[in-house]
Chain A
Amino acid sequence: MPFQIIKQFFNDMRRQKLRSMLTMFGIFWGTCSIVLLFAFGTGITEAQIKSQKGIGENIAIVWPGITAREFKGLPRGRRIRPTEDDIRLIKQKAQSITHISPEYSRWNVKMKYSRNETIRNVVGIWPEFGLMRNLIPDYGSRFINNLDLSKKRRVAFIGNILKEDLFHEEGAVGKTVMINNVPFTVIGVMKEKKQDSSYNGRDARKAFIPASTFRTMYSFRYVNDFVIQCPPTVSMERAKREVYEIMGAKYRFDPDDTEALKIWDTTRGFAFLRNFFLAFNTFLVGIGVATLITGGIGVTNIMNVVLEERTKEIGIKMALGARKSAILSQFLFETMLITGIGGILGFLFAWGVVSGVGMMGFEDYIGVPRVSLFSGVLAIVLLGIIGTLAGIFPARRASNLQPVQAMKLF
């Protein structure tokens, strides 16, 4: 029987080329657009979140400030400038802060390797800084560690662009680079990353050295800023509050005085982004559903027309001894085959488009679109259900007629 059904199907296909093609195209189009929508939707979302995360996850940056309120008899307008000791204090006291690192920075420092020279920022930090800010060492290199810090080693971790500028194709690890005319050994190169928010310039162009080494070289009293990180389960608001309280107690300012220390909470950006993409994806799902419904209506219409035209054929087959189930299974099989072929072609086509676009190198704008099997299967299944219902009801109507009625309906 299956063979007979397949044979009949190809007979019908031959006869109804246009209709079969149109139906198939409807399914093809529906599946294709849904898969593409989802692929680009997830690609864009992920790209945005990734480049936001380039600066680090769950972090806040704290800068010195000037008090804006009087507090316990002290005037306002006092400068509050944290030192590395304050940071140790916060690290010790704050419950909601898992990592913290000072950041000393010096702009326009001459850096030199053999004949290559450039002027960049040099930054003094603690080892935790690398984790917090997603400074991932490239293959065969490492970030600054505690030993570097305690021994005040003259070692440097350099951004990937700075590495290009100084070393071009040459390997940098182990080489000596002159920073401010002091020789430093390069211990690591940063792996390229996406970063669309920054302060003090991009990480890719900086040189990072131990905070202790930095202070020996430049004798800074105060840090330029410090970076704090809280666990994902804790609200950054709590961490900020603790910073204000600890520092307020020490320097005698009102913990509600947000001018005393300026804090940039990067998690606020994430919250916005997350909401934005939630809306964006809801919109995509809406378009997808609308596409499916349109496609489904198309399939339904076409199957109805097909069946009207074929009622006579059904009548003839019944007159020749076709059982109801034979008629129904033939139509069911046809609809499912058309849906299946259209859906798979649509899925493959979308896949092709996605890979093609992926190779064209627009990652910076739209990310890497990825085909989700789920969206394809979803589209095919939904369209299949619609198509099947569309095929089965008129077929049942026709096969419930007396043969002679079906034959005469033509």
Chain B
Amino acid sequence: MIDLCKVTKTYITGTVEFKALKDIDLQIDRGEFVAIVGPSGSGKSTLMNLLGCLDVPTSGEYRLEGHSVNKLTSNQLADIRNTKIGFVFQAFNLLPYATSYENIEVPLLFAKVSAKKRRDRILELLALVGLADKLNNKPTELSGGEMQRVAIARALANDPDIILADEPTGNLDSKSGTAIIEMFHQMWKSGKTIILITHDMKLADQTQRIIRLKDGAIDGNGNLA
């Protein structure tokens, strides 16, 4: 379902060009649970942003479910981000002024879900991540683990096929981290494709496949488990 062919990403800072990704070839099938590991600065987040359609490659082709992403309009990309992909960030990226409830509501609003269905879905998701009693708390009134659970609920809102998580446990202690990873396993069992960036090899070892990045390139044969 995900197919990268000779994808590169070059950042230009002033006059300095930096190749963050070099000729990446990568396939990920529906229902896989994949970990991306590698040293800091190796290009993991850059790769993840491309996969999530949050950024565009400098060259090469990215095919998502057979469609070439380069050729999609900005509205089509927005709809993909809205319904096909759920993104979980290391820094949570919740809207600071909105409550848990309202944060989870955002992708539902963009998907034009009716008010009644939104309400049911949000309450269901809050129960799923164990925050039914925190629906009116704003991010500042939540712990780090709780914020990340709100973010996961938000990523799941429109029931996307793909969950992308960029170091979701990076800002959490090991206990809440374990709980979060447990959630990803449940999502995987329910049929979702999961791609997880982590520094923690213990977590990576629990996945089906590990992709190692080094200096912007895949180290070894990334497509092997």
Contacts and interface: CB of A to CB of B under 8 A. Distances in A.
Interface in B62-97: 74-75, 78-83, 87, 93, 95-97
Interface stretch (B32-40, B47-55, B182-190, B204-212): B47-55
Contacts of B112: 1
Contact of A324 (B75, B87, B107, B109): B75
A319 B97 contact: no
A1 B111 CA distance: 10
B123 interface: no
A322 B110 contact: yes
B154 interface: yes
B106 A319 contact: no
User: Interface on chain A toward B: helix, strand, loop, or mixed SS?
Assistant: helix
A403 B95 CA distance: 15
A202 interface: no
Interface in A320-337: 320-326
B75 A323 contact: yes
Contacts of A320: 81-82, 87, 106-107, 110, 154
Contacts of A209: none
Interface residues on A, range: 20 to 34
B87 to A, nearest CB: 6
A1 B16 CA distance: 44
A323 B95 CA distance: 17
B102 interface: yes
Contacts of A186: none
Contacts of B81: 318-321, 403
Nearest to A312: B93
A404 B46 CA distance: 10
A197 interface: no
Contact of A407 (B93, B97, B107, B110): B93
Contact of A321 (B56, B93, B111): B111
Nearest to B79: A321
Contacts of A14: 97
Interface of A: 1, 4, 11-12, 14-15, 313, 316-326, 402-405, 407
What 5 A-B pairs come out closest when comparing CB atoms? A321-B82, A15-B97, A404-B54, A321-B110, A403-B54
Interface of B: 49, 52, 54-56, 74-75, 78-83, 87, 93, 95-98, 102, 106-107, 109-112, 154, 158
10 contacts: A317-B106, A319-B52, A320-B81, A321-B79, A321-B83, A321-B110, A323-B75, A323-B79, A404-B55, A405-B55
Given A321-B110, A402-B56, 4 more contacts: A321-B79, A321-B111, A323-B78, A325-B75
